[in-house]
Copies of this chain bind each other. A is one copy, B any other.
C-alpha cells in the first residue's frame, strides 16, 4: 500500500452531481445529511439534470467541472441504476481530490482528468453510513455521509478495503489516422453545441483557422468552418471550435448545431481535413 498522505480536504467543499432532478426531495435530503454530519461545509451543485440513468453524460459533466475546484474538494456523484444490487459503493482518490459514488464508471473520467487515480476503496464500514440504510437511496444513506466524513477529515482508507478491478467506462476513444478522425458526440449542451470526444490537441491535423473541414454524419455531408469563437460565424452557419472543455465542439451561431446535424449523445462523426 502507498505511503502517500491522503489529500487533506482543507477547503471543505462537497459537490453534488445526480440525475435526481430538482422537483423531488432527494437532493435536499442529501444536503441535509451532509450538513448534519459535517456542519459548516460548503455544498455546491454541479448538476441534477443529467438524463436519468445516463452515465455517459453524467461522467462528461463531472469531468468538465472537477478540475476547477480547489484541491481537496469532495465530489459526490449519483447516477445509479444498480442501487441496492451488487454494484459497489466506492471512493476514488485522485491526485487533487476525492470522488464518492457507485462503481459503474461514472467517477473515472473525472478522476483521470483531476490528476489521475491514486486509490479506489469500496465503502463497507457501516459506522460511516446512516443507520438503517435503505435499499433504494444510497445517495442519502451511504454516499452523502461518506462525503461529509471525508470533508471533515476522515481518511478514505477508513471506509473499506482498497480494490483494483473497478468498472472502467467504455466510451469510445476517437480513431485517428493522418487527417481523418472517427469520433463521437460525447455531449450535447443546452445551447445545442455538440461536444465531441476529440481532444483539442488533435484539431490541428484537420486544418487551420478559417478552413472548411469535411464532416459526415451517417450519409449526410457538411462542410463546417474551423473558427475561433461563436461570433466568427454568421447566423445559422456551422463551425468547428476549440472547446472550452478541452474537446472539439461543433457549433451553430445562436442555433442548435445538434438539431441542424440531427446528432445526439453517442452519434458517430467522421471528420476529414481539406
Q: A45 at the A/B interface (Cβ < 8 Å)?
A: yes
CB neighbours of A22 from chain B (8 A): 22, 47-49
- How far in angstroms is the closest Cβ of chain B from A183? 19
Q: Could you tell me if B32 and A84 are in contact, using CB atoms closer than 8 angstroms?
A: no
Known contacts being A25-B47, A136-B230, is A65 close to B32, with CB within 8 Å? yes
Q: A88 at the A/B interface (Cβ < 8 Å)?
A: no
Q: Could you tell me if A69 and B23 are in contact, using CB atoms closer than 8 angstroms?
A: no
Q: Could you tell me if B24 and A190 are in contact, using CB atoms closer than 8 angstroms?
A: yes
In whole angstroms, what is the CA distance A191 to B78 when docked? Answer: 14
**Residue in contact with A64 in the complex, picked from B29, B49, B52, B243, CB distance below 8 Å:** B29
Known contacts being A28-B46, A136-B241, is A35 close to B85, with CB within 8 Å? no
In whole angstroms, what is the CA distance A69 to B231 when docked? Answer: 34
Q: Could you tell me if A33 and B81 are in contact, using CB atoms closer than 8 angstroms?
A: no
Which of A24, A65, A232 has the most CB atoms of chain B within a 10 A radius of its CB? A24
In whole angstroms, what is the CA distance A24 to B43 when docked? Answer: 18
Q: Could you tell me if A244 and B140 are in contact, using CB atoms closer than 8 angstroms?
A: yes
* A17-74 CB contacts (< 8 Å) to partner B: 20-26, 28-29, 31-33, 35-36, 39, 42-50, 52-53, 61-62, 64-65, 68-70
Q: Could you tell me if B24 and A68 are in contact, using CB atoms closer than 8 angstroms?
A: no
Known contacts being A45-B28, A229-B135, is A39 close to B11, with CB within 8 Å? yes
- A-side residues, CB < 8 A to B, are 11, 13, 15, 20-26, 28-29, 31-33, 35-36, 39, 42-50, 52-53, 61-62, 64-65, 68-70, 81-85, 134-137, 140-141, 189-191, 228-232, 241-245, 249, 251, 254
18 new A-B contacts, CB < 8 A, other than A32-B65, A135-B228, are A11-B35, A22-B48, A23-B49, A24-B47, A24-B61, A25-B47, A26-B189, A28-B44, A28-B45, A28-B65, A31-B44, A81-B231, A81-B254, A82-B231, A83-B229, A83-B231, A136-B243, A137-B244
What are 14 A-B interface contacts by the 8 Å CB criterion? Answer: A13-B35, A23-B49, A23-B50, A24-B190, A25-B47, A25-B62, A29-B65, A32-B44, A35-B42, A81-B254, A84-B231, A84-B232, A136-B249, A136-B251
Question: Which are the 10 A-B pairs with shortest beta-carbon distances?
Answer: A84-B229, A85-B231, A32-B68, A137-B244, A135-B229, A21-B190, A134-B244, A25-B64, A28-B46, A25-B65
